[in-house]
């Protein structure tokens, strides 16, 4: 166990020095009007009865969670409204049904994402990889937990922080890594890069760079599922910053109006680029509670814990599939690196203490490892082995990417969505705009 803890899951923040100096900023004083509003605010959460009930129970059995609740650090403001609803989530039917091998597989998937991202960062820092790179370290449980609930008819779509979702649905490390290197063997033939991983055959619809642009596309997936009478649902991920885009409100309206089988998962990592949640969003209860205005059900949960995430998301997806009811689930999570590698250290807008605290106490992989050790599902030696395999797989994928050829010059106009309004030209080079 000790040996296990010594394993480096996340690269330590370099600024221990500044950590000692930096003072955690006090919360901004509330105006009298805001205080009055906060007093009035009543819980309107329409989460399923089961979850609401669980909230009244004693805190989760896990010691670390209980400790965290007692301390309630100031920087938890991002997740002030997104706290565990409590209860023993391992007993939730969706988790109780998990076999030991499946639990180990969930660990493997999370470790694969982490090691993949670390390899990518390494080559980016060396200048061998270029373009954008939005890392998912710290958020692995959200994508892995979601993919583990998909039934073969569900569809998922996300934004530009998309590597974790891609690997979780079964995309290979080689095609993903090659895409990051801009090579022709990449999943988007080297022309999409980090933000545009796609695998429709795996029910994964990308990978989108326009903030919240994926939300109406997700709605379209849900519409198609309902229209075709498929027993599935769509899951559309968005960030805490993306909820402020007008199109998301339009989506909620249409989801309710058409009763579409969709779950919007807000991955609340506390920041949109360099802007903290407190500085970007007016919040009365939670971001998810905005769904209330559209008569859409909503709930919140901590994403650091796989059992908790699976319990909440499982019931929301089930409701979407069975009753064609939309749902908004806000998940507390945290990204270890900056918005992208352009601000990789991300220390200008958040304190080193904050980052370290999340890494130490809320790391989803360490938590899951400890859970499985407690359940005697794995041994420390097995964990070491799985992690070593993930590292080796990521290193081999990087070698594959580097050795792969660049896209050919002729391929530059292939797979381009090209519409024209002239019939002759349409016949030769593209599609006619309002054709057939
Ligand atoms: C419409 C639009 N506006 C602005 C941007 C620039 N931009 C890219 S990411 C981002 C922040 C989004 O933050 P969040 O939704 O919390 O997602 P996270 O990066 O935390 O995963 C912004 C403003 C963009 N890509 N698209
Ligand atoms: Mg964010």
Cα(291)–Cα(265) distance, rounded to whole angstroms? 12
* Ligand with smallest separation from the Cα of 242: 1
For position 8, what pLDDT does the model report?
A: 73
For position 84, what pLDDT does the model report?
A: 82
358-393 pLDDT tens trace: 999 999 999 999 999 999 999 999 999 999 999 999
For position 432, what pLDDT does the model report?
A: 57
For position 76, what pLDDT does the model report?
A: 67
Report residue 409 as tokens: 């010059």
3-state SS class at 263: strand
* Ligand with smallest separation from the Cα of 212: 1
Nearest to 191 by CA among 201, 180, 202: 180
Ligand 1 atom showing the smallest separation from residue 242 Cα: 15
Report residue 383 as tokens: 């964990």
Nearest to 190 by CA among 129, 144, 244: 129
Report residue 293 as tokens: 């205005």
Q: Which residues of the chain have pLDDT under 70?
A: 1-7, 10-76, 418-436
* Ligand with smallest separation from the Cα of 247: 1
Residues with CB under 6 A from ligand 1: 161, 209-211, 239-242, 269, 271-273, 339
- Which residue's CA is the nearest one to ligand 1's atom 13? 272
Domains of the chain with bracketed CATH: 45-275+282-401 (3.40.50.970), 406-436 (no CATH)
Tell me how far the alpha carbon of residue 375 lies from the centroid of ligand 2, in angstroms.
33
Tell me how far the alpha carbon of residue 282 lies from the centroid of ligand 1, in angstroms.
17
For position 26, what pLDDT does the model report?
A: 32
Ligand 1 atom showing the smallest separation from residue 209 Cα: 25
CB atoms within 10 A of CB 318: 18
Cα(325)–Cα(259) distance, rounded to whole angstroms? 6
């Amino acid at each position: 166990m000790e040996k296990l803890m010594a394993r480096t899951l996340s690269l330590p923040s370099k600024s221990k020095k500044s950590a000692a100096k930096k003072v955690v900023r006090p919360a901004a004083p509330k105006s009298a009007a805001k205080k009055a509003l906060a007093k009035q605010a009543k819980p309107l959460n329409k989460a399923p009865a089961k979850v609401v009930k669980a909230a009244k129970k004693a805190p989760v059995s896990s010691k670390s969670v209980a400790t965290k609740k007692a301390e309630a650090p100031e920087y938890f403001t991002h997740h002030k409204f997104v706290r565990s609803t409590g209860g023993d989530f391992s007993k939730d039917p969706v988790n109780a049904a998990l076999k030991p091998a499946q639990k180990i597989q969930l660990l493997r998937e999370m470790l694969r994402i982490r090691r993949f991202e670390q390899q990518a960062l390494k080559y980016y820092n060396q200048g061998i990889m270029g373009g954008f790179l939005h890392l998912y370290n710290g958020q692995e449980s959200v994508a892995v937990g979601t993919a583990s609930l998909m039934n073969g008819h569900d569809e998922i779509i996300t934004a530009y922080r998309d590597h974790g979702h891609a690997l979780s649905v079964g995309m290979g490390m080689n095609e993903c890594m090659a895409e990051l290197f801009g090579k022709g063997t990449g999943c988007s033939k080297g022309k999409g890069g980090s933000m545009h991983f796609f695998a429709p055959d795996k029910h994964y619809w990308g990978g989108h760079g326009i903030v919240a642009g994926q939300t109406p596309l997700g709605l379209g997936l849900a519409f198609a599922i309902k229209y075709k009478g498929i027993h599935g649902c769509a899951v559309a991920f968005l960030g805490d910053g993306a909820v402020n885009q007008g199109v998301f409100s339009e989506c909620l309206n249409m989801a309710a109006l058409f009763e579409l089988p969709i779950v919007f998962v807000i991955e609340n990592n506390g920041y949109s680029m360099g802007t903290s949640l407190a500085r970007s969003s007016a919040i009365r209860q939670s971001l998810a509670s905005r769904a209330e205005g559209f008569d859409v059900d909503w709930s919140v949960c901590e994403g650091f814990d796989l059992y908790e995430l699976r319990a909440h998301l499982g019931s929301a997806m089930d409701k979407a599939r069975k009753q064609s009811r939309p749902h908004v689930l806000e998940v507390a999570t945290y990204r270890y690196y900056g918005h992208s590698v352009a601000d990789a250290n991300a220390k200008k807008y958040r304190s080193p203490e904050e980052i370290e605290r999340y890494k130490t106490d809320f790391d989803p992989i360490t938590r899951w490892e400890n859970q499985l050790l407690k359940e005697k599902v794995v041994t420390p030696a097995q964990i070491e082995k799985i992690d070593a395999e993930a590292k080796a797989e990521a290193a081999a994928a990087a070698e594959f990417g580097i050795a792969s050829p660049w896209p050919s010059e002729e391929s530059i106009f292939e797979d381009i969505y090209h519409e024209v309004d002239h019939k002759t030209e349409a016949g030769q080079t593209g599609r006619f705009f309002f054709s057939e």
